[in-house]
Amino acid sequence: MKVPGLLVLVCAASLFANAASQGNNSSLPPAQVPAKTLPVPGDVSPEMQKIIAAPRNPNWNVLWKTGEEWRAAANTQAAKTMQTLPASRERLHVTTKPGTMGGVRIFTVSSDSIPHEHRDKLLIHVHGGCYVMFPGESGTGEAILMAGLGHFKVVSVDYRMPPEGYFPAALDDAMTVYKEALKTYDPKNIAVFGTSAGGALVLEMMLRAKQMGLPMPGAIAPGTPMSDVTKTGDTFYTNEMVDNVLVSRDGFCDAATVVYAHGHDLKDPLLSPVYGDMHGFPPAILTTGTRDLLLSNTVRVHRKLREAGIDAQLEVFEGQSHAQYQFDDRAPETKAAFGEITAFFDTHLGHLSDR
């Protein structure tokens, strides 16, 4: 029997899609897990219970294919996010000012009360959003939390995203800001932090800084980093449909990253930094949750850092899906997460490194 050429092509494409979706898995037999009911845990704060009880992100399987489509979606989301920022700034006594560094758009996000020992320190923030979301000031939410809860001055990078820029535009912009900061700050007094795509960018910045022979900052805080965008990582499976933010490895976030990558190899450590060489990295604190789709891709980075001899601290929060430690500045868990990062920065910034 002759198989029509088109059918072969379709089947081959389908096989390839499956292979891509499955990531780097063993050929050993998989486990079958029955359907289950997940109660909202009672051992977290009432604020966090509400966040955990939220229905799954209704846009989890929106898979736009162009930068223009993503930007339109991002703008809609940004308008909503912007409405929440003034109250957060007010509660945390933080002010925000737009500006540029080396031609890159930034927001300076400062606590109204910066203690003496933080006045020579600068934190650089790279926001998350799968490399396509949270343009402009809408990306400053985590910077407000860090500035307000930690009493720091933060520069939040409003890096280029599709369709304005594709890989490596976000990384290039973040590096420009880092290089500018090095002109006025001692590297040991600089920390770099961010969550999700921002967590990946933090790691990518360290890899790029090594390539460029730049000094390392005093500390980094990559939160639940998108460290592997090749769909590899066990919690892509175990926490699928459990994480109510990202929901699935075949969801919006990986689709957005493909658009940002613009044909570039997704396994390049500058897109999947878990594959990078982490020797010589600064001390790092990583934060994730037990329901996080990227729990594996956080703990894999933690193990790689430890194996490279890096002082790396891991924080895993009960019941939280992706990045929920930054969803509500009033939740005790948010204060705990940024309290840990502040304590870590206080321990490691300002010291001469013996690396």
- Interface contacts to its own copies, rule CB under 8 A: 22-26, 28-43, 49-50, 52-53, 56, 232-235, 237-242, 244, 290-291, 295-296, 299-300, 302-303, 306-307, 313-319, 336, 340
Q: Compute how many other C-beta atoms are within 10 angstroms of the C-beta atom of residue 4.
A: 8
By C-beta, is 49 or 88 nearer to its own copies? 49
- Residue 120 Cβ vs its own copies, minimum distance, rounded to whole Å: 26
- Residue 256 Cβ vs its own copies, minimum distance, rounded to whole Å: 23
By C-beta, is 78 or 200 nearer to its own copies? 200
What are the angstrom distances between the C-alpha of 58 and each of 54, 55, 116, 118, 244? 11, 8, 45, 41, 9
Contact 21, 234 (CB under 8 A): no
- Residue 254 Cβ vs its own copies, minimum distance, rounded to whole Å: 17
By C-beta, is 153 or 335 nearer to its own copies? 335
Residues 220 and 215: their CA atoms lie apart, in Å, by 13
Sheet of 122-126: strand order equals: 94-101, 104-111, 153-157, 122-126, 190-195, 219-223, 284-289, 312-317
Closest among 103, 97, 207 to 153, alpha carbons compared:
97
Which of the 8 DSSP states describes residue 230?
S
Question: Which residues, in sequence order, are CB contacts of 86 under 8 Å at separation 6+?
Answer: none
Beta strand pairing call for 122-126 and 153-157: parallel
By C-beta, is 303 or 330 nearer to its own copies? 303
By C-beta, is 12 or 19 nearer to its own copies? 19
- Residue 189 Cβ vs its own copies, minimum distance, rounded to whole Å: 24
By C-beta, is 54 or 87 nearer to its own copies? 54
- Residue 232 Cβ vs its own copies, minimum distance, rounded to whole Å: 6
- Residue 271 Cβ vs its own copies, minimum distance, rounded to whole Å: 17
By C-beta, is 168 or 222 nearer to its own copies? 222
Residues 272 and 275: their CA atoms lie apart, in Å, by 6
Contact 101, 181 (CB under 8 A): yes
By C-beta, is 214 or 266 nearer to its own copies? 266
- Residue 211 Cβ vs its own copies, minimum distance, rounded to whole Å: 24
Q: How many CA atoms lie within 13 A of 192 on its CB side?
A: 28
Residues 157 and 209: their CA atoms lie apart, in Å, by 17
Contact 339, 152 (CB under 8 A): no
Residues 321 and 293: their CA atoms lie apart, in Å, by 7
- Residue 150 Cβ vs its own copies, minimum distance, rounded to whole Å: 16
Which of the 8 DSSP states describes residue 251?
S
- Residue 313 Cβ vs its own copies, minimum distance, rounded to whole Å: 7
By C-beta, is 5 or 34 nearer to its own copies? 34
